[in-house]
Amino acid sequence: MREALLSAQGVTVHFGGLVAVDGVDLEVHAGEMVGVIGPNGAGKTTFFHTLSGVLVPTAGRIAVAGDDLTGKSAHIYAAHGVARTFQTPRVFKEMSAVDNVRFGLEFAGRTRQHAHDAFDDPFAILDFLGLAAVASVPAGGLTPSRQRLLEIGMALGARPRVLLLDEVASGLTHAEVEKTAQLIRRVRDELGLAVIWIEHAVRVLMSYVERVAVLHQGAKIADGDPRSVARDPAVVEAYLGEEGDTQRMAA
Ligand SMILES: Nc1ncnc2c1ncn2[C@@H]1O[C@H](COP(=O)(O)OP(=O)(O)OP(=O)(O)O)[C@@H](O)[C@H]1O
Ligand SMILES: [Mg+2]
């Protein structure tokens, strides 16, 4: 079997007495698009923090393309091709949109080998995202939805092999969510990246990913194709009380 691009084994995060992430295993291959869902506070963002070196797990192991990066810094993860967005966008508000994209590359280190020459040019990335017209506009002057797109641009600027998206569609209109989802799929198709995508809009997410992992109280309770995951009794149970989400999943 071919080697996973990203491999998490038994990843656990304790915050004092709270177990925010509880022994999570996840393997993702190049070209895979995997959704991560779970109720509020399930540990999704904390898990992403460990996958991108923002947080060192209390226990477990994380490898990228076979290299064990457990305990390494976010820069090292970026240098190995892991790029991410944040639940609250972290663009540099004073810097122009195009300089924000350039920063992505600075962060990952200029020397990293990569497969996609077209995205060497930060303007090409902005164009792909529909942001070419605002290349020179300070990021703080962009609408919140454009700032979210720009964050994807910063991640793409880092020449990723693995793209981690934390609720990039939150706060967008339904039409914008669909557009963003199509963009993300094009990124995967055209660049062959592995994409791991956390989203609360479960139904949209389920219609765009081939595989979905479900976190509940820190633990992974399901991992499989969206149809079977949506019917999994443990998943339905986890979502009870989260009114709306269960109905959206079943729809
Ligand atoms: N820095 C921290 N210190 C202490 N507890 C934390 C910290 N960060 C997160 N937590 C707690 O860890 C748990 C998991 O939080 P996390 O943000 O990972 O969940 P999430 O699944 O991303 O939730 P949401 O869907 O609301 O974004 C929650 O109980 C949260 O309160
Ligand atoms: Mg979160």
CB 38 within 8 A of CB 236: no
Which of 15, 58, 170 gets mutated to test ligand 1 (max ligand atoms within 8 A of its CB)? 15
Backbone angles phi, psi at 115, to 5 degrees: -100, -10
Which of 13, 14, 19, 44 gets mutated to test ligand 1 (max ligand atoms within 8 A of its CB)? 44
Q: Which residues pair with 36 in a beta bridge?
A: 198, 213
CB 100 within 8 A of CB 150: yes
Q: Any long-range contacts for 177-180 (C-beta under 8 Å, 24+ apart)?
A: 177/201, 177/204, 178/204, 180/148, 180/149
CATH 2.40.30.10 fits 6-250, yes or no: no
Which ligand neighbours the alpha carbon of 55 most closely?
1
Q: Of ligand 1's atoms, which has the minimum distance to the CA of residue 215?
A: 21
pTM over 0.85: yes
Whether residue 38 has its Cβ less than 6 Å from ligand 1:
yes
Whether residue 153 has its Cβ less than 6 Å from ligand 1:
no
3-state secondary structure of 141: helix
How many Å apart are CA 120 and CA 114, to the nearest integer?
9
Which of 46, 48, 205, 216 gets mutated to test ligand 1 (max ligand atoms within 8 A of its CB)? 46
The contacts of residue 213 (CB under 8 Å, 6+ apart) are: 26, 34, 35, 36, 37, 220, 222, 223
Residue nearest to atom 2 of ligand 1 (CA): 15
Q: Of ligand 1's atoms, which has the minimum distance to the CA of residue 15?
A: 4
DSSP assignment of 161-219 equals: SEEEEESTTTT--HHHHHHHHHHHHHHHHHH--EEEEE-S-HHHHHHH-SEEEEEETTE
Calculate the CA 240 to chain-centre distance: 25
How many Å apart are CA 178 and CA 175, to the nearest integer?
5
Which pLDDT value is given to residue 241?
60
pLDDT < 50: residue spans in the chain: 244, 246-247, 250-251
All structural domains of the chain with their residue ranges: 6-250
For residue 222, count other CB atoms closer than 10 A to its CB. Answer: 20
Which pLDDT value is given to residue 37?
95
Tokens of 137: 């506009």
Whether residue 42 has its Cβ less than 6 Å from ligand 1:
yes
- How close is the Cα of 251 to the center of ligand 1, in Å? 28
